[in-house]
Every structure is written in structure tokens, then in C-alpha cells.
């Protein structure tokens, strides 16, 4: 009987081991794994360790897609990749604002670049546009997405979220005007540094003279 080694939490290429799965009929140890693309798959321990299996199968699919569409270097492919990444890869810098908030990519797009590509071109894609979700809390899927000029995307719209404070509701810009605060600084504190609204408007501003490092820290 093969020696049992706990692989939970270990990562092999695109696969992270989640839990033990039922043994193969041969008795070989198998593990349930989460693929970077968001799919689960069951893999034999040996195949994980020797690298024979690197993904849920999406890697093969991607490679095939790359071969046939020859578009892996194009901007639209990068856009597709980065959407998937920020929604499914917890080590992505922007994951917190996407996957971490429950935002997903529909399976049709997630598993098939060409499906995304076909939607994009029939909906007016060009290289000066970026993808936008109509509902900023909704998923990346055909019903919720459109193409808009770069620089006008959701992050900007998120600033327009209503903020309730002291019994009044205003958007961020209005609050800053009313409280006579530097909008850029408050925005930066909330969306780059992760402050709550209250922290962002109440934490004292460090002056450059006092401490340069602190200024960087507090924006
Ligand atoms: Zn996968």
C-alpha cells in the first residue's frame, strides 16, 4: 500500500489541492483540486507530483485555442486573460476588488476565449476600448458587459456609489465638496489603501516636513 502524504494546500501548476477524494479503483490516492480557472477536478497524487496533470484541462484547451486562433499576443486576448485572473486567482493584485467581492466570469467566457472574442467583435470592440460591467456588482457575462473608452471604466463609477454618513447620503465627490476635503486624497485612501469612508475623511494628513514615509503611507 502506497504511503499516504497529505497534499492539502499544495499547489501544482494551476491546481491547488483542496481535499482528499475517493481512491481510484486501483487504490491510487486521488485529490480534489481547484484549478486557477475556477473549475474543480480530481487528480491522482502521482500525476500531480510528476506534473503529468497541470490543470483541470483548461490549459490544454487554451493551448489549442492559442494554436488555432494565434491571438495570444493581442490586446483582446490579454483583456480576456486579465478578467479571468482578477476574478479567479487570489494572488492577483486586483483579486480583492473582483473575485474577492464575488464577481465571476461566466463559464462560457471563462472556458473559451473564442466565445469571448466573438461577443467582443460583435459588440464593437476595438483597441481603444475597455470592457465595462453595467452593474459593477455583477459578473463578466454578455448581458452585463459592454465596451467603453479607456479611462471611463467601473473604478471611476465606483466612486459614484452613494455613501451614507451622519444620516445623509451623497456620492464621494459631493462629500468632499461639502467637507472641503481633497477628493483625490480621499479616493486614494479608500480605493488604494482600503480605508473606510470615515477613516478616509478623518485621518490626519501628514505634512511632507514631518515625515515623508508617513505621507506615502497615508497618501
Ligand atoms: Zn482550469
Which sign, positive or negative, has the C-alpha torsion 141, 146, 150, 155? negative
Distance 41 CA to ligand 1 centre (A): 8
Copy the grid coordinates of residue 120.
Answer: 467582443
Distance 132 CA to ligand 1 centre (A): 24
Q: Where are the beta strands (DSSP E) in 50-158?
A: 129-133, 145-149
pTM metric for this prediction: 0.44
Distance 49 CA to ligand 1 centre (A): 17
Distance 118 CA to ligand 1 centre (A): 21
State which H helix or E strand residue 35 sits in. strand 30-35
Distance 117 CA to ligand 1 centre (A): 19
Distance 125 CA to ligand 1 centre (A): 26
- Higher pLDDT pick, 149 / 41: 41
Instruction: For residue 218, give the nearest of 196, 201, 203 by alpha carbon.
Output: 203
Measured CA to CA, the distance from residue 48 to residue 53 in angstroms comes to 6
Confidence category of residue 24, pLDDT binned at 50, 70, 90: confident
- Whether 143 shows a pLDDT value over 90: the answer reads yes
Distance 181 CA to ligand 1 centre (A): 46
* Tens digit of each residue's pLDDT (9 = 90 or more) over 49-101: 998 888 888 877 666 555 556 677 788 888 999 999 999 999 998 898 899 98
Amino acid at each position: 500500500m502506497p504511503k499516504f502524504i497529505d497534499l492539502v494546500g499544495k499547489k501544482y501548476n494551476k491546481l491547488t489541492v483542496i481535499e482528499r477524494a475517493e481512491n481510484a479503483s486501483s487504490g491510487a490516492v486521488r485529490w480534489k483540486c481547484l484549478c486557477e480557472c475556477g473549475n474543480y477536478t480530481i487528480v491522482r497524487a502521482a500525476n500531480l507530483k510528476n506534473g503529468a496533470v497541470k490543470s483541470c484541462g483548461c490549459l490544454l484547451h487554451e493551448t489549442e485555442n492559442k494554436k488555432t486562433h494565434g491571438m495570444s499576443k493581442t490586446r483582446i486576448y490579454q483583456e480576456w486573460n486579465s478578467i479571468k485572473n482578477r476574478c479567479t486567482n487570489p494572488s492577483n493584485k486586483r483579486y480583492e476588488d473582483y473575485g474577492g467581492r464575488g464577481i465571476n466570469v461566466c463559464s462560457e467566457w471563462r472556458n473559451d476565449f473564442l466565445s469571448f472574442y466573438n461577443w467582443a467583435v460583435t459588440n464593437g470592440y476595438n483597441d481603444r476600448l475597455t470592457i465595462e460591467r453595467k452593474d459593477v456588482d455583477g459578473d463578466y457575462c454578455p448581458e452585463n458587459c459592454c465596451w467603453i473608452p479607456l479611462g471611463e471604466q467601473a473604478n471611476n463609477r465606483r466612486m459614484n456609489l452613494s455613501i451614507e454618513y451622519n444620516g445623509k447620503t451623497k456620492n464621494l465627490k459631493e462629500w468632499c465638496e461639502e467637507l472641503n476635503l481633497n477628493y483625490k486624497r480621499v479616493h486614494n485612501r479608500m480605493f488604494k489603501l482600503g480605508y473606510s469612508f470615515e477613516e478616509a475623511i478623518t485621518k490626519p494628513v501628514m505634512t511632507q516636513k514631518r515625515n515623508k514615509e508617513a505621507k506615502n503611507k497615508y497618501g
